[in-house]
Amino acid sequence: MKIERIRGGVSLRRTIESGTEEQRRAVLDIIANVRARGDAVLKEYTERFDGVSLDSLKVTEEEMKRAHAAMDAEMLEIIRQAAANIRDYHERQKRESWWMTKEDGTILGQKVTPLDAVGLYVPGGTAAYPSSVLMNVIPAQVAGVKRIVITSPPNKDGTLPAGVLAAAYELGVTEIYKVGGAQAIAALAYGTETIRPVDKIFGPGNIYVALAKREVFGHVAIDMIAGPSEIVVLADETARPDEIAADLLSQAEHDVRASAILVTPSMKLALAVASEVERQLETLPRRDIAQAALENYGAIYVTETLEEAVDVVNELAPEHLEVMTAEPLALLGRLRHAGAMFFGRFSSEPVGDYFAGPNHVLPTNGTARFSSGLSVDEFVKKSSVIVYSEAALKQHGEKIAAFARLEGLEAHARAIEVRLEKGE
């Protein structure tokens, strides 16, 4: 890994999700075709892009039961424990409707309503992600969403990954479709003969999925445009190089575009971590992916002081931040921008990916400066409730009408004044 002395001015912002004009045109064509031809074109795209001919898009109950039964009993128990931890954490995020009554009789409040239907895209490709099923489905269930739909590209044999189906079965999700790519996003947004449309779409995917989510936004809601995985480790001379190297590689193995960065005031630690990364890479099954990620988006930044290192981390605003210093929690107040923060040597990033409970769907590309990880809030909407009293309108009606006329909206003013006329 490259080592660089730095005092700030570092960013994780990347524009790799914007795509080319050719890719955008391809996505627009796919969306238009799905809207026009429905299931038929979904099957055609599945055969063209995934190399499998399907009679039916929907995963059957028998397929789900078979995948669940085939899952190793010990692994199934681990999934159940992880699900319990995730559910417990997200239950604490639930919002309730609230009401207040003022002395003049006016009632104001907020009604919290779960979304009717949501779609979860589970990517295929180089790895299967049952953990993403848990992280997306559970907060939706906690929020009270009644219809949860999963789409995912099929394997060459026409199946979906057994872990994905087993996790979905454990959670009671039964509406699952074998369709991926931009065509899946179009189907979730606009519907087909088989797939009814949803209100909001969640989940990461390739560039075509990202572009499709952008194109359908407005007709439906989306969670975010997810970028490549990121980790920043903030460490001092007390940290262990082998543990830091392992954590950097844990994200680098995701994708050739993943980012793995160490920020430290210790040149000794920087050199030791760089050496350790090379050593651990030798035996890593996904070595080629991790090595490409480190060459393109990996770095070790060495600062003069720990305070400067904290400033650099805040500028990076990473998806995942690990703090491995002598007193990690002492820095909590100064750390402002990260999707998730992991403190201490036993809080390795995979703890959050799979088991601890907080959501692993997090903002990337430096967007942690202004956005948050997935939560129950993403699966509800809030409606203002206003029950204005006669006394309140008599007291404030003339002010409201005056405000309306300030904006040149005479009908707004008259709508108030008609209620203030004598004899009312």
Give one DSSP letter per residue of 180-237, joined into a string: -HHHHHHHHHH--SSS---SEEE----HHHHHHHHHHBTTBEES------EEEEEE-T
User: Residues 6-25, buried b or exposed e (16+ Cβ, 10 A)?
Assistant: beeebebebeebebeeebbe
- What is d(CA 24, CA 208) in angstroms, rounded to the nearest whole number? 8
Q: 3-state class of 372 per DSSP?
A: coil
Known binder of ligand: residue 371? Answer: no
Q: 3-state class of 3 per DSSP?
A: strand
- What is d(CA 33, CA 35) in angstroms, rounded to the nearest whole number? 5
Known binder of ligand: residue 208? Answer: no
Known binder of ligand: residue 337? Answer: no
- Hey, which residues are catalytic here? 319-320
Known binder of ligand: residue 407? Answer: yes
Known binder of ligand: residue 353? Answer: yes
What does the block give as tokens for 3? 């080592």
Known binder of ligand: residue 320? Answer: yes
Judging by DSSP bridges, how do beta strands 175-178 and 380-387 pair with one another? Answer: unpaired
Contact in structure between 27 and 159 (CB atoms under 8 Å): no
Known binder of ligand: residue 183? Answer: yes
Known binder of ligand: residue 412? Answer: yes
- What is d(CA 222, CA 383) in angstroms, rounded to the nearest whole number? 19
- What is d(CA 267, CA 270) in angstroms, rounded to the nearest whole number? 5
- What is d(CA 360, CA 351) in angstroms, rounded to the nearest whole number? 10
Query: Residue positions in the annotated binding site for Zn(2+)?
Result: 251, 254, 353, 412
Annotated binding site for substrate: 229, 251, 254, 320, 353, 407, 412
List residues forming the annotated binding site for NAD(+). 121, 183, 206
